[in-house]
Amino acid sequence: MQVTMTVNGEEVTRDVEPRMLLVHFVRDELGLTGTHWGCDTSNCGTCVLWLDGEPVKSCTVLAAMAHGHSVRTVEDLEQGTVLDPVQEGFVREHGLQCGFCTPGMMMTARWLLDHNPDPSEAEIREAISGQLCRCTGYKNIVKAVRWAAEHRPIPAQATPDEMSAS
């Protein structure tokens, strides 16, 4: 079957099997390998990407279900050559080691900060609790998200005053 969707702002169309999972679609069909495949049962969260602005575990979404919808993956976090503060925070606070859970964690973190710009530690822990990390023990992921909260992106239309205040 033919599916068409917007991925990271660009419309893509592919012929795929109706049973193809979205995680395999973005990885194998589009070559966006930042989204990972980790468990098949929606437990690990390495496959988290956004579907219409909401984080989803793409191992339990069919590519067909994304037909006509909008997908955003980790490859879209960096704007131009400027890292998203979430990406910067993960580097600064050592929020990653092997890097396998990192894209999914960052996609959830970005969503959290878009909806709750100043989350508490408990709120961050709850937000990422559906995703597993085997390397970091989570503490530095929490710190990374807090770092991002404290270093918000400056809106493009910001005035010089606002820029200096942030």
162 CB-contact burial (10 Å; exposed 0-12 / middle 13-18 / buried 19+): exposed
CA 118 to chain centre: 18
**Which of 39, 60, 67, 70 is the binder for other proteins (CB under 8 A)?**
39
Closer residue to other proteins (CB): 12 or 83: 83
SS3 of residue 147 by DSSP: helix
Distance in angstroms (rounded) separating the CA atoms of residues 8 and 4: 13
Amino acid occupying residue 136? T
Looking only at residues 135 through 164 of this chain, which bind other proteins when binding is defined by CB under 8 A? 135-142, 151-154, 156, 163
- Residues in the site for other proteins, rule: CB under 8 A? 17, 19-20, 24, 27-28, 31-41, 43-44, 46, 73-75, 77-78, 82-85, 87-88, 90-92, 94, 96-103, 106, 121, 124-126, 128-142, 151-154, 156, 163, 166
